[in-house]
Amino acid sequence: PSLIEKVSRAPKAELHVHIEGTLEPELIFKLAQRNNVPLAWPTVDDLRLAYQFTSLQSFLDIYYAGTSVLQTEDDFYEMTSAYLDNACQNGVIHAEIFFDPQSHTSRGIGFDVFIPGMIRALENAREKGISTQLIMCFLRHLPESDALKTFADSREWFSRHPEWLTGVGLDSSENGNPPEKFARVFARAKAAGLRRVAHAGEEGPVEYIWQALQLLDSERIDHGVRSLDDPDLIAHLSDTQMPLTVCPLSNVKLRVFDTMADHNLRELLQAGVNVTINSDDPAYFGGHVNANYESVIDALQLTESECYTLLENSLMSAFVDTPTREQMV
C-alpha cells in the first residue's frame, strides 16, 4: 500500500474538530426545511459556492448562519452521528470534539437540547470502537460576562456527565480578542477540574500563544502555526512538548498560507514541536482528517517517519490514555 493508504488506515486521534463545522450543506438544507429556518442561499449548490473564504471572519459569518438550522435534540444527534461515522471511516479511534454553546443559547436553544442530542450519538459510537469527549468552547468575540454566564449555566451539565464533558476551549474571531480576556473563566474551569485548550496563533500574534499558556494554563494550542515567528516560543513549545493541533486544509482555505506547499508543518516538526493533524471544520474546508494528512503528504512530500510521528503525537496528546503504536501493531 502507498504511504497515503497506510496513514488513512492507521489508528489516530482527532483533537481539533468543531461539531458545528461538520454540518454538510445537504444536512443544513434538510434541517432548515424541517425547522422552517430561512437561509440566505436558495439551493445547496448556492451555499457550497459561498464557501470561498478570504479570512477567518469570512468563514465564521457563514459557519454561524449554518449553525442556525440546529433546533432540536434530534438535529444535534444527527449532526454528531454523521461526524462519528466519518471519523470511524478515517481511522479515528478517539475524538475530542468542540461545541459552541453560545451560538445555540443566543438563539434560545438550551443545554438541555444540545447536550443530550450530542451525548446520545457519542454513546452509540462507543459501540463502534471510537471513544470521545466534548470540549465546550467560549466565543471570544463575545464579552467576558457572556462566557462567565455560559460557564455558570454549564456547571450542572459538567457535573452530570463528567465522562463526556471534560474541558473548555476558546474559539471564534481571534484578532482583537486576546486570551487574557478569558483568564478568569479559565481559572474557574481549572478550579472545577476541567481540561483547558485555546485557539491561538491561527491569525493572531505569538503574544496570544504566550497568553494562552501563561494566563489560561492551556494544555494544548489549537492551530499555533504562527509560533515560528518567535524562536523563544518555539524552544518553549519543543521543551515542554506542548501539543499544537494543526489543521492544514483550514489554514489554506482561510488564507493563513497561500498554498499547501507554503505550510510550515515540516518546519514545526523539524523544530521538535509536538504537532498533530486535524480537520477543524471538515464540511467547510474540503475533507475529514485523512484528507488533511493526504494533502500535506502530497504537498510537502512527508516521509513515512514524519507521518508516524504525527499519528503518534495525536494519540499521545489526547486527554485520555490511548493505545500506543507498539500496542496497536
Q: Which is nearer to Zn ion, 24 or 280 (CB)?
A: 280
Question: What is the bridge-based pairing of β-strands 243-246 and 274-277?
Answer: parallel
Whole-angstrom distance, CA of residue 290 vs CA of residue 306? 15
Look up residue 37 and give its amino acid.
V
Q: Which is nearer to Zn ion, 20 or 280 (CB)?
A: 280
Considering the rule CB under 6 A, would residue 121 count as an interface residue with ligand HPA?
Answer: no
Which cell numbers hold the place of 113? Answer: 437540547
Under rule CB under 6 A, which residues in 266-295 are in contact with ligand HPA? 280-281
18 in a labelled binding site: yes
For 71, 78, 118, 125, 288, the CA distances from 82, given in Å and listed in that order, are: 17, 6, 11, 10, 12
96 contact choice in Zn ion, ligand HPA, none (CB below 5 to 8 Å, kind-dependent): none
Q: Which is nearer to ligand HPA, 63 or 293 (CB)?
A: 63
Under rule CB under 6 A, which residues in 189-228 are in contact with ligand HPA? 199, 202
Residue with nearest beta carbon to ligand HPA: 171
In angstroms and rounded to an integer, the radius of gyration of the C-alpha atoms of the chain is 19
Our answer to whether residue 202 is catalytic in this structure is yes
Q: Which is nearer to Zn ion, 94 or 223 (CB)?
A: 223
Under rule CB under 6 A, which residues in 30-89 are in contact with ligand HPA? 56, 63
Catalytic residue chosen out of the listed positions 202, 294, 306, 312? 202
H helices then E strands: how many in the chain? Answer: 17, 9
Whole-angstrom distance, CA of residue 2 vs CA of residue 293? 13
Q: Say how many residues touch ligand HPA, by CB under 6 A.
A: 11
Least Å from the CB of residue 160 to ligand HPA: 26
Q: At what angle do helices 206-214 and 231-240 cross, to 10 degrees?
A: 40
- Choose which of 22, 68, 172, 322 interacts with ligand HPA (CB under 6 A): 172
Q: One symbol per residue from 280 to 319: x for binding Zn ion (CB under 5 A), - otherwise; what is it?
A: x---------------------------------------
Which cell numbers hold the place of 48? Answer: 457550497
Considering the rule CB under 6 A, would residue 256 count as an interface residue with ligand HPA?
Answer: no
153 in a labelled binding site: no
Which cell numbers hold the place of 227? Answer: 509560533
Least Å from the CB of residue 138 to ligand HPA: 11
172 contact choice in ligand HPA, Zn ion, none (CB below 5 to 8 Å, kind-dependent): ligand HPA
Whole-angstrom distance, CA of residue 320 vs CA of residue 162? 13
Residue 62, Ramachandran bin (φ over 0: left; ψ between -120 and 50: alpha; else beta): alpha
Degrees (nearest 5) of the Cα angle 207, 213, 216? 105
The residues that are catalytic are 202
In the annotated binding site for Zn(2+), the residues are 16, 18, 199, 280
- Could you list the residues that contact Zn ion (CB under 5 A)? 280
